[in-house]
């Protein structure tokens, strides 16, 4: 059985640096690269990002929706990107944000967390807003395959506030309840649990306990306004477990492989300096 995701992620962050780069082939970015908004452009984009960065950064994060919009041919490109990225040494975090109940959640878990699936990834993002317990099939599948799960907790989009900051009968916010559940899933894990939280880097301040003994995926670095210097200020003692996620500020440097690598290296250096 492969080492748990948390162990592999800790090693990758320590050796390659704390950085997750999104693979987000939206139409405007394809156009900026001089590519068509079609399957051929999608494949060229994905293969270029993988070629440039899979051997350099800790994590690559394909956004499933940008591939799904092209139907079965887009999914085939996604399968290829996942396989090639993992083969080149990157951990792959599938940004799918799935969330459902019962057999449907189990099917999503099979799609992304079963080693026999062509979309098998090192980890997947999920939505806990049908109740944290509804995600049990994903956690069970991840444990069985040595994969990881990142649950949405404190996202930076303004619409998330009404749900994530609502309080239950116990007085806890929904976000804090999600974080507590994740901490329980990671109990006794060493050096890092495999079950992480998504916490936006653009929040400004966080009134929550982030000590979950697991990774904290922090989108919003770069084009969305947050900087590596904000990580220590925002995450405090948990900063060492933060996995900053950058997409546009690196991807805009393509299609040059060298420029993509230089951009990623710059973010790694800035993050290491900021976290210390």
Residues serving a catalytic function are 97
For residues 26 and 41, give the distance between their C-alpha atoms in angstroms, rounded to a whole number: 10
Distances (CA, A) of 38 to 21, 42, 59, 119: 22, 6, 26, 21
Question: Rounded to whole angstroms, how far apart are CA atoms 237 and 116?
Answer: 38
- CA gap 30, 255 in Å, rounded: 10
Report cis status (omega within 30 of 0) of the bond before 255: yes
Alpha helices in the chain (DSSP H): 5-16, 27-32, 39-53, 64-68, 71-87, 102-113, 136-145, 161-164, 174-185, 229-235, 248-251, 257-275
By residue count, the chain amounts to: 276
* 259-51-94 Cα angle (round to 5): 105
Alpha carbon separation from 52 to 21, 24, 56, 225, 255 (Å, rounded):
11, 15, 8, 25, 9
108 closest CA partner among 140, 78, 73: 140
Radius of gyration of the chain (CA): 18
Q: CA-CA distance, 112 to 127, in Å (whole number)?
A: 14
Query: What CA–CA distance (Å, rounded) separates 244 from 66?
Result: 21
């Amino acid at each position: 059985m492969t080492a748990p995701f948390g162990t592999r992620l800790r090693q990758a962050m320590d050796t390659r640096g704390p950085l997750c780069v999104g693979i987000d082939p939206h139409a405007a970015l394809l156009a900026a690269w001089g590519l068509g908004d079609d399957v051929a452009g999608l494949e060229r984009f994905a293969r270029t990002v993988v070629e440039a960065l899979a051997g350099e950064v800790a994590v690559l994060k394909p956004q499933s929706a940008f591939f799904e919009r092209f139907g079965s041919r887009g999914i085939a490109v996604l399968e290829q990107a996942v396989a090639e990225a993992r083969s080149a040494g990157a951990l792959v975090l599938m940004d799918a944000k799935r969330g459902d109940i019962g057999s449907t959640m189990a099917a999503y878990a099979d799609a992304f967390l079963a080693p026999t699936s062509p979309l098998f990834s090192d980890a997947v993002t999920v939505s806990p807003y049908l109740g944290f317990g509804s995600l049990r099939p994903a956690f069970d599948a991840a444990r069985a395959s040595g994969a990881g799960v990142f649950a949405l907790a404190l996202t930076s989009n303004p619409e998330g506030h009404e749900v994530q900051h609502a309080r239950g009968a116990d007085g806890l916010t929904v976000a804090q309840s999600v974080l507590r559940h994740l901490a329980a899933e990671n109990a006794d894990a060493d050096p890092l649990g495999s079950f992480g939280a998504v916490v936006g880097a653009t929040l400004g301040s966080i009134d929550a306990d982030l000590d979950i003994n697991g990774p904290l995926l922090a989108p919003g670095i770069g084009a969305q306004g947050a900087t590596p210097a904000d990580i220590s200020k925002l995450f405090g003692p948990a900063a060492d477990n933060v996995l900053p996620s950058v997409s546009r500020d690196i991807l805009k440097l393509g299609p040059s492989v060298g420029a993509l690598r230089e951009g990623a290296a710059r973010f790694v250096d800035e993050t290491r300096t900021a976290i210390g």
